[in-house]
Amino acid sequence: MPKKSQNKPDEICSFCSRPGVIDVRRDKLYKGVLIENLPAKQCPHCHEVYFNLDTAQLMEKIAREPDRYARLVKRLVARVA
What torsion, rounded to 10 degrees, do the Cα atoms 22, 25, 26, 30 define? 110
Q: What's residue 6's pLDDT?
A: 55
Read off the CATH number of the domain in which 51 is found: 3.10.20
80 occurs within a structural domain: no
| Structural domain for 34, as ranges | 3-69
Q: What's residue 41's pLDDT?
A: 95
30 occurs within a structural domain: yes
40 occurs within a structural domain: yes
Q: What's residue 81's pLDDT?
A: 77
Residues of the chain scoring pLDDT < 70:
1-9
User: Largest alpha-carbon pair distance within the chain?
Assistant: 44
